[in-house]
Structure formats: C-alpha cells, structure tokens
Structure 1
Amino acid sequence: MIPPLRGRDARALGVSLLLATWIGLLANGLPSARAGLGLQADVALIVAVDVSQSVDQERYRLQMEGIAQALEDPGVISAILNGANGNILITMIAWADSATPVLDWTRISSKADAYNVAALVRRLPHKGGEFTCMARMLRGVALRVIPDIPVKANRVVLDVSGDGIDNCSDRDALHEERDRVLALSATINGLPIIVPGENETVGSGAYRAPGFGLRELSRQPDKETTTLDQWFTDHVIGGPGAFLMAAQGYADFGRALRQKFVTEISDATCAPAMPRCVMLTKERRVAGGV
C-alpha cells in the first residue's frame, strides 16, 4: 500500500499537477467566451441595412422582421449546417449618414444559434438617419468591419440593401470605396428595395453632401435616368460571384432576403426560378471591372 502524501510532498504534487494543467490549456487554447470562435467559418456575412430618412418605423420593422425570419428559415439553416465547416459568422450595420454596428460578429452553427440571433435582430431599436451615404458605409466596412472578423472565413460577403442611390458622394468616390472593399477579397451583393411609384426610376443630377449644400455632378452617366436595380448593378455590386436580387417593396424584403441568404451562404449562383436575381458577368466581378 502506498502511503498518503503529506505536508511538503503533497504541496509539491499539487503544484506539479497545476502546472501540467496550465501547460495543457496553453497547448490546446485557454477556455474563454470566444473559445468557439476558433473554428473556421464558411462565410463571414455582413448585413448592411438602410436606415435613411425614407425608412420610417414601419419600413424598419419590416426589414428587421425579414432578416429574423430569414435566419429562422429551414432552407437558410440547412445551408449553414451543410457547409464545409457547418457554421457562418454574421454581423449587422445600420447605415445612413454614417455606418453604425448594431450586431457584433456572431457565430451561427446550429438551429438554436440562428433563432437566438433572430431574436436579437427583432429587439434592435430603430436608429434612423437622413442621407443615403453608401460610399461612407463601404469605407467603414473596409476599415473597421472586415479587419475585425475574428477567425478565418472561406468567403467574405457584404449584403447591401437600400431604397435609394448615394446622395452624399459622386460616382468616382463611390467606386473608390467599393473597390476598397473588393480589394479585401470580399464580394458585394445588392438588394435594392423598389417601391412602385416612388423609387423605381432614379437619377443623380445633383448630390447632397451634408454641410456642403447641393453640388452638380461633373460627368455622365450620372445625370441620366436609370432604374434602382440597374444603379446597384452598375455602381455597387462586385467581386467573385456577385449578384443582385431586388425586392418589390418592403413587404417583399423578407422573401428576397431568404433566397439571397441561401445563395450567399451556400456559395450557389442565381437560378432561373429566383425572380429578379441578376449576376455580374465574369469581366465585372473584380475590383475596377466597371
């Protein structure tokens, strides 16, 4: 029979066991609130939501409910769980005059995770703005959001929804900020919200930069009339596999976003059965391709 350790021997053994435990933890990663983030993600999804002056409380609610329902959709959850790593990262920003993070980077790796994030989205308060400063939003994404992705992701996707064109910057400035995002190996997809009789036809004969009044744009085709979905195609989306899916009004936002999420998460392409889904040609999927 081995006699029990006493006094100095017991303390020495205790210290040895404690050191061995810490060495093991250091070798395998210390437990923390972010321990689950050590896994590689299939996609890092940035959901950028328009909260400019045209988005009233009801339109904001429809957007938040549409995002929440999309996250709870069985098809979206299946796309998440059946990816190579079985998980995604998601963050949300509300943008108008500036871009404001409203949901930190969060991992979704189960149905419960998806429902928990959906519940958080439903509780987000309405923080509106005045202008539609898309170039500023893109700059913020490039400088602060993408660099803050906590783990390696196979793909980075910026999902931009909105009901108007940039009225803070001219075309060249917008393209510069878009290309800054694309240079980080990200893809920008668009979800224009087309409200019949209100914004389906757009133009930018002048833009309004806050604090600078009205300024005429200097070159074509900015002064030409176009449609909102075509404007998104020409000036916003880009990168590998970039596509656009339009919503016909705010009530249609949830439907469009569900289909869009499945495509973005599964790295699929637009299908004939997906209405108002338009992909870029191969030549226009890279920075500077427009």
Structure 2
Amino acid sequence: MVRAAFLSCLCLAAAPAAACRLALVLALDVSSSVDAREDKLLRDGLAAALLAPEVEAAFFVSADPVALMAFEWSGRGHQTDLLDWVLINTPADLEIAADGLSRSQRGASGQPTAMGHALGYAATKLQDAPVCLSQTIDLAGDGINNESFGPAGAYATFPFEGVVVNGLVIARDDRAVQDYFQTHVIRGPTAFIEVAQGFTDFENAMRRKLLREVFTQVLGRNTSLQRVPG
C-alpha cells in the first residue's frame, strides 16, 4: 500500500501543471482571393479586436492566462508565423501582441487556398504551446480548399485530439463558404463559426469570436461559457 501511494505521488509529480487556461492559434487566410487592402483589414482588424475593452476584460477574467500564437496561410507550404507563442499575463502583453500583428507584413501573394495544410500547421504549432487546459484553432478565411488535401485529410493525419477548431467566415455573395466551414472545417463539441459581412466587418466578427473563445471558466469548475459582461 505504501509503495502504491509512493508511485501515485510520483505520477502526480511527473504530470505537468497547466500554465494557462487556453492555447489559441489565430490563422489568417492571405490566399489569392485576398487583395492588399483586404489583407491590411485582416491584420488591423485582428489587432483592434484583441484590444477591444470587452475582449481585454475577457483575457483577464481569470488569473490563469491565455497563450496566443498567430500565422498567415495560403498555398501548400506557405505558412508564416506572425506571432510566436506568448502568455498574455498583463494588458501590456496584449498590447505588444496586437501591435506586432498590426505591423506584420504579408509573406506571400497569389497563392491558392490550401486549408488542410493550414490546419495541419496549426496542429503542429500546438505541440509547442505552453501546457494549457484547452487548445483552440481559430481559422479565418473567405474561400474553400482548392489545393492538396482538405480539412478531413488534416484531421486524419495530424494531432487533433482534444483540439477545438472554430471558423471565421468572411462572407461574399452566397453561403457556399459558410456552409463549407460548417460542414468540413469546424471540429469539436463546442466548435462554432462566426461570420463577417465582408472584410470591413472582420474586426467586429473577430471581436465576437474572441469573446466566445477566451471568456471561459477554468480549473476544474464548470467549463461552459459564462455570460459575457456588457
């Protein structure tokens, strides 16, 4: 009995404690359907959404921080990190992250939409994330996969156990992209899509999306979404 208790203590000691409540990957589509003006709206919109007062409040609703990482994606093999993993412990951390995203420059243009490769890259980046209670990928895009394997191929190949994938659809003239995200992209029991009515609405949609993703209860308590203040 003593030996069993000792081994149990060793196992508990070996298990890493969670460093944060959420590891969140933000993935921005910069494929050929996104022109230079729209690309700037994506970067500035993401930065502004992160600094919105209600989003900032959501980041610090708990003493357990959120870890952020961001990258842009387009064709096969075209994924560029915009923000390396950072723990958002203070408002200053959030401001620095947002400023870096706003100042970032597009790494590629004229590329197709290799969505499966983007999802696989995001899953791989989560392997290097701080130890967190949950992991979420936030995939934003205005089109469907048109190069190489799609989302199903990524989910069958890369490590997605326990990972939630949400979608931010930048709507155009019909529901085709929204339906594609709903059917093929989002993954996990709490997954959802948010819709931006064009690129000028991206900031608002991202703000709503971040609120749903970040404002959660943690540390073994009820993990359902709380009511967002305001």
CA contact (8 A) 1:182 1:239 kept: no
Runs of 4+ in structure 1 off by over 6 angstroms are none
Q: Matched residues in 1 for 2:186 and 2:158: separation?
A: 10
Alignment pair present for 1:72 and 2:29: no
Aligned residues: 201
Q: Please give the secondary structure, in 2, of the residue aligned with 1:246.
A: strand
1:28-177 superposed matches below 5 A = 40-83=19-62, 85=64, 87-97=65-75, 98-129=78-109, 130-142=111-123, 144-149=124-129, 151-169=130-148, 173-177=150-154
Q: Matched residues in 2 for 1:257 and 1:270: separation?
A: 18
Q: Please give the secondary structure, in 2, of the residue aligned with 1:41.
A: coil
Alignment pair present for 1:263 and 2:217: no
Q: Matched residues in 2 for 1:266 and 1:145: separation?
A: 22
Q: 1:188 aligns with which of 165, 169, 183?
A: 165
Per the TM alignment, residue 88 of structure 1 is displaced from its structure 2 partner at its CA by 0.7
Please, what TM-score do these two structures have when normalized by structure 1?
A: 0.65
Aligned-residue Cα RMSD (Å) equals: 2.1
CA contact (8 A) 2:215 2:226 kept: no
Please, what TM-score do these two structures have when normalized by structure 2?
A: 0.81
Q: Which has the higher contact order (CA 8 A, sep 6+)?
A: 2
Per the TM alignment, residue 84 of structure 1 is displaced from its structure 2 partner at its CA by 5.2
Per the TM alignment, residue 176 of structure 1 is displaced from its structure 2 partner at its CA by 2.5
Find the counterpart in structure 1 of residue 10 from structure 2.
none
Per the TM alignment, residue 179 of structure 1 is displaced from its structure 2 partner at its CA by 4.6
Per the TM alignment, residue 195 of structure 1 is displaced from its structure 2 partner at its CA by 2.3
Q: Given residue 237 of structure 1, which amino acid in structure 2 is its aligned partner? A: I
CA contact (8 A) 1:194 1:248 kept: yes
CA contact (8 A) 1:178 1:236 kept: no
Q: Given residue 266 of structure 1, which amino acid in structure 2 is its aligned partner? A: F
Q: Please give the secondary structure, in 2, of the residue aligned with 1:157.
A: strand
Q: Please give the secondary structure, in 2, of the residue aligned with 1:135.
A: helix
Q: Matched residues in 2 for 1:181 and 1:88: separation?
A: 23
CA contact (8 A) 1:42 1:84 kept: no
Q: Given residue 104 of structure 1, which amino acid in structure 2 is its aligned partner? A: D
Q: Which runs of 5+ in 2 are unaligned?
A: 1-16, 217-223
Per the TM alignment, residue 153 of structure 1 is displaced from its structure 2 partner at its CA by 0.6
Q: Given residue 161 of structure 2, which amino acid in structure 1 is its aligned partner? A: L
Q: Given residue 232 of structure 1, which amino acid in structure 2 is its aligned partner? A: F
1:222-241 superposed matches below 5 A = 227-241=176-190
Q: Identity of paired residues, percent?
A: 30
Q: Matched residues in 2 for 1:237 and 1:245: separation?
A: 11
Q: Matched residues in 2 for 1:264 and 1:90: separation?
A: 12
Q: Please give the secondary structure, in 1, of the residue aligned with 2:133.
A: strand
1:166-213 deviations in Å (ceiling 9; x for gaps) = 00135xx531313555733110000010123xxx25xxxxxxxxxxxx
